[in-house]
Amino acid sequence: MTPTEKDKKDKLAAAVYLVTDFLSDREPIKWKMRKLAISEAYAAETVNQLLSLIEIILMSRQGSVMNFSLLRDGYLSLRNSLAEKQEIKTLVDSLPDGRLMTSPAGGAARISPAASVRRDEPRRPSPQNNGQNERQNQILRFLKLNNGASIKEISQAVPNFSGKTVQRELAALIKNGLLRRDGDRRWSRYRI
């Protein structure tokens, strides 16, 4: 679980305790939700169980609709985050030759130098990737793993290409609708 997901989980657990405080102590859902919210084995199944219990409370009108709706939204967001993380893990596991690696600190992913395209190789789009070249694929993989980045961060992740080349590839990806840019000039962040 990433630090962001852990923070979200901890905040949601605190919220569960706050909103279930208004439920009767004789209500088993109260204790089940609290137990699940602080569970160490935290996965998509745990989140789904919590969402089911929240729906039961909302349908039976045992708690504040506003509070439990906010709690439900938080858990839906966490579930989406966990699902996205699993999709990325599946993608990384399916790549040949270990082309994607995470940094030793467990943070930003970097493309290994062995996976980079040499500058003297011609730009050839491959048929299975909708006309994207290897540089664009490297940029897309990096952005999927990092949920957005600046040009500087992307340039560091694909070190065999100049900053201008990275900018051109980003512009092409935006034009093709594969990326979006938030912000202007040096504050720009690129996201999938």
Contact 16, 37 (CB under 8 A): yes
- The boundaries of the domain holding residue 23 are 3-89
Q: How far apart are CA 94 and CA 17, in angstroms?
A: 40
Residue 126, helix vs strand vs coil = coil
CB-facing half-sphere around the CA of 50: CA atoms within 13 A = 31
Do both 64 and 105 map to the same domain? no
Given a cut of 50, whether residue 118 has pLDDT beyond it is no
Amino acid sitting at position 153: E
Residues 70 and 142 in one domain: no
pLDDT confidence bin for 31, thresholds 50/70/90: very high
Q: Is the domain of 79 the same as that of 112? A: no
Segment 133-171, tens digit of pLDDT: 788 888 888 888 887 888 888 888 777 778 888 888 888
Q: Looking up tokens 């949601």, which residue turns up?
A: 12
- What was the pLDDT predicted at 95? 62
**Would you list the DSSP string of 88-155?**
HHHHHHHSGGG-EEE-TTS-SEEE-GGGSPPTTS-----GGGTT--HHHHHHHHHHHHHT-B-HHHHH
pLDDT digits (tens, 9 = 90+) for 15-30: 999 999 888 899 999 9
**Which one of 59, 89, 119 terminates a domain?**
89
Domain boundary among the residues 20, 54, 89 is at: 89
- Mark whether 80 and 140 lie in a shared domain: no
Q: Are 11 and 83 found together in one domain?
A: yes
Is there a single domain that holds both residue 124 and residue 141? Answer: yes
CATH number of the domain encompassing residue 158: 1.10.10.10
Report the percent of the chain where pLDDT is more than 70: 76
